[in-house]
Structure 1
């Protein structure tokens, strides 16, 4: 019997052709996955307060109107405080995503600059991307509520403003210079710690040269109507500032332009133009006025004037009212804090430091010569008051004193108080007069006057009777007749009349007679009895011998 044959096992090492098809399919699928992943850009998260108009799978992300991403998911945050949007960006957008990149929603808007985003009415809202220049890459961004005023790399100047709470400046408000818009407000934030508003301004090129180190910024209200001690003022700005306000700036007329402002320089935002002009007086002397008169009508920032020239400002009315006064037992005055600003005296030195000690010594010397402060009416219509400084020769001596560690400026009564004092003095003098004798004399005088008036009335009655007499009425006619007869008589003695010639001859004869009678009269003067006795002749002269 033959032995059974055994099968031989041989390991086949060649690949079966059956596996070629799945391997190829696997390679194609891997290539397709790689290709798809290589075409996908980074995924980012956008945070918004309100996802209005944003739809997953439809809302696009664009820059310069080129699509660079799409919204994939819209959801609420875990604390439900905001909306989170997951967006897939294109690969070319990866280098645009950094901490300076800005996003905002483009949709129809009606704002201060007009109507924008009308193209999205039919196409729907989209998210606009503004690339940043930072090298720090991030994947979570806060979407802006409003479009940015200008790109971060836009040519121009960016500065910071700080102001007290109460102004109405918001993002997008215009920044104007002499009524012409040269920039915009980029952002406005409130700091609860310092209780101040911080504004970031963008001044577009080529107007950045208008901002200098001496520039002053103030709120432009559009329409400013003021009625105070300085009078009635109305300032009207541009139409845009009239609707939304804004900020304006300039350099005070009594200051130099200064050097060009640096990037991110910080300035103070004042409430109005007058406050901005007053803000550059950095050197001052503080004094306290202890006023006995009423301060109704005197307000903060009221002027302190010397003979019509402003030299200071009222800072507080009243000031530290509860502090002890030097002579509180005899009076209780109203304390008023004022500032004397020596830089106002010389416009050329308004931007230079002032020797405060020298000015203080000068004012102390003026106090000794009668320099006093008083309250006067600046506007009779509103009753606004201001502080007037002047010299009074009859002012009592002043002794230096302090109120709440602040020097006291000597005062005197104001105009109304002086009138009241004079009226009071006049009444005191009238009260001191002896009225009874004066009244008795006045009664006597009145009685005499009454008697005199009676006599005058009696004389008037007599005159009336005389004028009513017919003879008095005929008197003018008689006078006229007499004057007529006199005229006729005088005409008879005219040079050409016969009577005149006869009168002339008679006078000539009379003159001749007078000449003839003169020897007789002379003889009678010498010898009164010459008419009876012969005239004595003088003896003949006898010659004398030697």
Structure 2
């Protein structure tokens, strides 16, 4: 503003230049412009955001997985009940290079219940398993890390920031209501984690875990039954393996038993209650036996078995572990082991068959023996002892001629040879005899031995001599007897022709023969009339025939 008069003065000519009167202006004080409020407000907002972010940022958790398939830094989310509570911030290979370590930043509000002992993490992604398809929703959104906490109120759990992630989703999360039970089985079969548990063919639970027991002789299977269906599991419940298809051949024909389609494909367990009057639910972690079939599960309790051994000197080909032990058509137990042993005294091998016998299957006989001595811990021994003395023996029999499978048959044999038997021996040993097939083999061998003793060579020589003699006889007949036979036949033919001529219709002999026959016929008629007359007049033989009443 002060420079404008100066420039105007310089533009004037020298003749018109005049000295301006100096003026004094007061300089105003410096003031802050409103534009400076913008960065100040921005700094204030940024600081508040930083403070808010710092306040909302939770701890960083380290989760170990076998691989980082599908996981991405700053992209993969951490979700609890499908709510995002964190994000993956780093992925690195473990120190031993056998796994990966995933760093996940958790929200501050979620850290109180996530960073606790018992929390489980797993990666949700598309999975195709025997039990079904899961994780299809991640095809578009991408995989994420799911979280399961031990309970809704886990504040008492210790804080934890390092976890080992699950490679598969858990079969049951902690927020699911229901009851856990344990099934004791000889083997796992076709079951797997996630296999369904059925009640009246309706899925009510699933298999959540399995492990070998301490001695490795069986398998403990953990199942989870959802609420409210867990009230149907009582102390009288029976469980059986409902996997696959079962085909049985009985008197009524072929019977096929199947479960649901999912149990056929992925395996399954079914249960029922043998005592409907019992409505008291079983306690959690109750242990049940897992039977192989519905028929076994619904059978009467067999009680504890006891071991019985059998010694066979012949081949046991076709006898397998699991073969039944039969007594007159009733199954008393099963074979559980077959060993080859050596007798050092007799210096020979023998087969030791170990079986489990259920004495309760003897029915009232077992109950009677038990009632005689209630304190006896081994009533089965007391029952089998007298039976062995009366001829109880074990033998192998063929159950299937096509496959050659065999089973152990117990029966009382009449006139059985007496044997040394100790009813208190442990384990109990039942004497054996040769089976029907072995006896058949022995009979065949005897027949073969007798056939071998036959002098076939001498018989063949004698037969050859007989045939030669017969040949000479036939030659003699052909050369000597045949001409004479021809002459005899010609003479016989002539005789027959003469007889035929004598019996012709126009021959005299035939006419005489017919006359004779007519006379014989008349005589026979007279005799018949005489007989009729004498029958009506028996006195005629004495008085004679009376004279005729009517004269001629």
TM-score normalized by structure 2?
A: 0.66
* C-alpha RMSD of matched pairs (Å): 5.5
Cα deviations by residue, 1:74-104 (Å, 9 ceiling, x for unpaired): 2233333322222233343234323343332
Gaps spanning 5+ residues in structure 2: where?
A: 1-31, 545-552
Q: Match of 1:248?
A: 269
In structure 2, how many angstroms separate the alpha carbons of the residues matched to 1:404 and 1:361?
A: 12
Picking from 30, 36, 40, the partner of 2:57 is: 40
Q: How far, CA to CA, are the matches of 1:502 and 1:424 in structure 2?
A: 80
Residues 414, 478 of structure 1: CA spacing in aligned structure 2 closer, same or farther, 3 A cutoff? farther
Residue pairs, 1:304-323, within 5 angstroms: 304-318=325-339, 321-322=341-342
Structure 2 partner of 1:72: 89
Is residue 2:298 matched to residue 1:289?
Answer: no
Q: 1:474 to 1:173 in 2, by over 3 A?
A: farther
Displacement of 1:409 in angstroms is 1.0
The verdict on how the C-alpha distance between 1:494 and 1:254 changes in structure 2, with shifts beyond 3 A counting, is farther
**Residue 226 of structure 2 is aligned to residue 204 of structure 1:** yes
Distance in structure 2 (CA, Å) of the matches to 1:280 and 1:131: 42
Residues 1:414 and 2:435 are matched in the alignment: yes
C-alpha separation between the residues in 2 aligned to 1:474 and 1:107? 120
**CA distance in 2 between partners of 1:32 and 1:430 (Å):** 110
Q: 1:52 aligns with which of 69, 91, 98?
A: 69
Instruction: Kindly state the Cα deviation for residue 384 of structure 1 after the two structures are TM-superposed.
Output: 1.3
Structure 1 residues 158 and 387: CA distance shift in structure 2, 3 A: same
Shift of 1:57: 1.8
Distance in 1 of aligned mates of 2:66 and 2:337 = 44
What's the counterpart of residue 394 of structure 1? 415
Residue 268 (structure 1) shift: 5.0
Q: Name the CA distance, whole Å, in 1 between partners of 2:447 and 2:90.
A: 92
- Structure 2 residue 174 is matched with structure 1 residue 157: no
Native 8 Å contact 2:237 2:274 kept in 1: no
User: Quick check: 1:285–1:356 contact (8 Å CA) kept in 2?
Assistant: no
Aligned counterparts, 1:376-525, within 5 A: 376-401=397-422, 405-422=426-443, 465=489, 469=493, 471-472=495-496
Paired positions, count: 474
1:308–1:71 CA distance, 2 compared to 1 (3 A): same
* Bigger Cα displacement from structure 2, 168-177 vs 191-200: 191-200
Q: TM-score, normalised by structure 1?
A: 0.67
Instruction: Determine if the alignment matches structure 1 residue 375 to structure 2 residue 396.
Output: yes
Deviation of residue 182 (structure 1)?
A: 3.0
Residue aligned with 2:388, SS? helix
* Closer/same/farther in 2, CA of residues 474 and 264 from structure 1, 3 Å limit: farther
Q: CA deviation at 1:385?
A: 1.3
Q: Structure 1 residues 103 and 500 mapped into 2: Cα distance closer, same or farther (>3 Å)? A: closer
Conserved in 2, the CA contact under 8 Å of 1:215 and 1:249?
A: no
- What is the alpha-carbon distance in structure 1 between the residues aligned to residue 164 and residue 53 of structure 2? 29
Q: Is the 8 A contact 2:233 2:273 kept in 1?
A: no
**Kept after mapping to 2: 8 A contact 1:169/1:188:** no
Query: What is the rounded CA distance, in whole Å, between the counterparts of 2:424 and 2:348 in structure 1?
Result: 14
Q: Distance in 2 between matches of 1:486 and 1:256?
A: 108
**CA separation of 1:472/1:109 partners in 2, compared to 1, >3 Å: closer, same or farther?**
same
Mapped partners of 2:528, 2:286: distance in 1: 123
Distance 1:288 1:225 in 2: 31
Unaligned segments of structure 1, at least 5 residues: 1-16, 518-546
Q: Distance in 2 between matches of 1:269 and 1:308?
A: 26
Q: Which residue number in structure 2 is paired with residue 522 of structure 1?
A: none
* Range 162-171 or range 39-48, more displaced: 162-171
SS at 1:159's partner residue? strand
Q: Secondary structure at the match of 1:360?
A: helix
